[in-house]
Structure 1
Amino acid sequence: MRNDSIRYLIVPGWQGSPQNHWQSHWQNSLPRCARVEQADWMAPQRDDWVAALEQAVSQDDGPVILIAHSLGCITVAHWAAQAPLASLRRVQGALLVAPADVERPACPAALRNFAPIPRHLLPFPSQVVSSDNDPAVSTPRALAMAQDWGAQAGVLSGAGHINVKSGHQRWEQGFAYLYRLQSRQAQPVRRRA
């Protein structure tokens, strides 16, 4: 499913997405695709990351689909909780892959300023994709995030953190989730009051 008016925004997680990460491959494959750049990938600050996402979304008046990974998913949830209505209306959907549980006991200290994780419904269609052996989030927590956000949920078997380390360089099968998300655009979306 291709729509040349849609702009895709890649929202990487902690430490960014290297060249062999599936987000980088997707950025090179999808039309009208850009990456949300952060000033500091190693010591992320929630307010800075949310502001960078807002700047990227508001750069263009056209429709946007967010493609987030790990801490990028949590950034999307924080952004959606405070974004201007005009920006929220641009977002046609969000693919949220391997959301990092920043509230887990073993969470790296650098990520803890992203807690608590927002629990509100996202005002656009969303799809959470996680794995049953992701070290950054348990399956029950990933499913709870999806439920809180009003997202469809998919749990892969043995896919780790769905990153380079777990063998997901191109992750071509992930496009099925993106296409399914895009097909939901015609459905009514929730809007924040």
Structure 2
Amino acid sequence: ELNTYTVVWAAGMKATAIGALLGVDLARGGRIPIEATTVVRGLERIYAVGDVAYLEDAAGQPYPMLIPVAQQQGELAANNILAALAGESAQAFSYHDRGTMATIGRSRAVAWIFNRFALSGRLAWLAWLGLHLVMLLGFRNRLNVLINWAWNYLTYDRSVRIIWSQEALPGKSPHQQ
């Protein structure tokens, strides 16, 4: 049992509120509806990509709010902007799913790579670590993250904490002393 006055549930994803500034009807989750070329529906020369962009696949399902989707949409948007400046036609978005990885505890993960190879346990965790390091920009960033991960791993340090105080008892506000 955890006695508390406030519970904050921070789950789920929602797009940033920037979409409201465009004056377009927003899709589910406040996402901006875009064409397959990443142009905002109803607007010319305005592009949206990543978590804020709403585009459905061939099955009518929205693309997930995931980094690989954002990266691929961003690259396409950049190419389509250059094409527009050169008077060429824009290309449509085609998502290439390279797989899924998730850590599920200390030294454990699951991975489905290129929709062909399934990994689990320590090997999947090492693959997750390696991929995330490779995806970072710059040697300094990679080194800082690697040192931080190593420190947290060796010291069992976790970023998630429950702050417990004996002073915060039922019937007494934690802010009252």
**Both structures adopt the same fold (TM-score exceeding 0.5):** no
| Greater fraction of residues in strand | 1
More relative contact order, 1 or 2 (CA 8 Å, 6+ apart): 1
- With the length of structure 2 as denominator, give the TM-score of the two structures: 0.29
* Structure of greater Rg: 2
